[in-house]
Amino acid sequence: MAEKINGRVAFADLLRVFGILAVIILSLTGLRIEHVAVASQSWWVLNLYDGLTRWCVPVFVMLSGMFMLDPKKGMPLTRLFFHNALRILICLLFWGGVYAVVSYMTAGGRFSWLGLWRAVCSALRGNTHYHLWFLYLILGLYLVTPILRAFVRGASRRDLHYFFVLAFLFASLLPALFHFWPNSTAALQVWYDRLEVRLVMGYVGYFVAGYYLKEYTISRIAEAVIYILGVAGAVVTVWGTALLSRSAGAFVDTLYGWFAPNVVWFSIAIVVLFRYVLGVSEERSRRQRLSGVAQLVFGIYLVHVFFLMLLDFFGITVMSFSPVFSVPLLAAAVFLCSFALSWLIRHIPFLGSWLT
C-alpha cells in the first residue's frame, strides 16, 4: 500500500509536481520544435526535452484513476457529478471564456460582455483554448467512473491483467502497426475494425492502470522489466522521432502520441519509479510543503498558458538563447509565476477552490 501523510499519498504528490513541470517544458518546446530545422543542434535539444516529457499526460490520467477508482473511497453519484464533474465544467467554461477574451484582446480587439458570452458558448461546443482539451477528457472519464469502479471492485488481479493486455493491444500496439506497415497489416486491420472492441480504447487503460499501480505491489522482476521497457520507450521516442523526421525532411510526431507503445511503457515506468524508488523525504515538514504545492497543480495547469502568452507577447521563446539553458530556465519561471497566481486564486473566498 502506498504511504500516506495527512490522508495524501506521498509519491503521488511528488509525481504531480514533477508532472506539471513536464507539462510546462512540453508546452515550451512543442510551440517551437516544428519551426526549427530538423537535425540541427537546437532541434535535437528541443526533441530531447520534448520527447523525455511525453509521459506527463498519461501520468496525470493515471493519477486521476488512482483515486477516482479506489473502491475503499466512497464516491456516490451526487458527489461525482455535483462536485468533481461540476468543478471541471466550471473551470472549463470560466477559463475557456477568459482565455478567449485575452487572446482576442492581445490580437487588438476590445473587451465586451457579448464577446465573453460567445467565448463561453464556444467552450460548450468544444472549441476552446488548446490546453483545456484535458478537461474534456477528464469529464469523459468521470462519466464512466461508476462503471469502472464496479469493475475494479469485483475484478481479480488476473482480470485486470487481461484488461491491460486488451487495452495495450487495441489502443496502442495494433494502431502503431497499422500506421507503420499498412500494407502488411491490411487483413489484420479488417478484423480490428469489425471486432469493434471499444471498451478498452482511449484513455480508459491509463485510468485503470493508475488504480492498479497504486493498489497492487509488483515483484522486483516485474519492476525491472518495466524499467527496461521504459528506458527503451524513452530512447525510441527521442531517436525514433529524429530518424523519422530526418527521413521525411520535416518534423514527424508519430512517436510522440500518447498511445504510441513507446510512450505507454515510458509513462508506466515513470509511475513505478516514483512509487518504488524516488519517494519523498521522511521529514514531515518537507512532505507537508510538497503536499501544499501538489494541491495547486491543477490551478498551475490552468493558468500556465497565460505566462506562455506573456512570453510570446514580449518575443521571448526557447530560441531566444541556447535552448539547453532556456528551456529549464523559462520552465522554472513559468512554474513559479503560475504557482503564485494559482495560490492567489485559490484563496479567493468560496470561488477559489472551484476555479483551481
351 backbone dihedrals φ, ψ, rounded to 5°: -75, -30
**The length of the chain, given as a count of residues:** 356
Instruction: For residue 173, count CB atoms less than 10 angstroms from its CB and return exposed for 0-12, middle for 13-18, buried for 19 or more.
Output: middle
- pLDDT, residue 129, reads 85
- pLDDT, residue 286, reads 60
Output b/e per residue, 220-251; b: 16+ Cβ within 10 A.
Answer: eeebeebbebbeebbebbbebbbebbeeeeeb
> Bridge partners of 5?
8
What gap in Å lies between CA 112 and CA 127, rounded to an integer?
19
- pLDDT, residue 97, reads 85
- pLDDT, residue 104, reads 72
- pLDDT, residue 284, reads 58
- Give the three-class secondary structure for 218: coil
- The one-letter amino acid code at 310 reads L
pLDDT digits (tens, 9 = 90+) for 125-155: 777 888 999 999 999 999 999 999 999 999 9
**Number of structural domains in the chain:** 1
- pLDDT, residue 72, reads 87
What gap in Å lies between CA 44 and CA 167, rounded to an integer?
32
198 backbone dihedrals φ, ψ, rounded to 5°: -95, -20
pLDDT under 50 in the chain at which residues? 1
What gap in Å lies between CA 34 and CA 109, rounded to an integer?
28
What angle is formed at CA 217 by the lines to CA 212 and CA 221, rounded to 5 degrees? 110
Return the C-alpha cell found at 253.
510526431
53: Cβ–Cβ under 8 A, 6 or more apart, which residues? Answer: 22, 23, 25, 26, 29
pLDDT digits (tens, 9 = 90+) for 292-327: 899 999 999 999 999 999 999 899 999 999 999 999
- pLDDT, residue 323, reads 95
Helix axes 133-154, 86-106, angle to 10 degrees: 160
What does pTM read for this prediction? 0.93
Domain of residue 79 covers 4-355
What gap in Å lies between CA 93 and CA 77, rounded to an integer?
22
- pLDDT, residue 313, reads 87
99, 128 Cβ separation under 8 angstroms: yes
273, 279 Cβ separation under 8 angstroms: no
Strand ranges, E, within the chain: 4-5, 8-9
- pLDDT, residue 4, reads 55
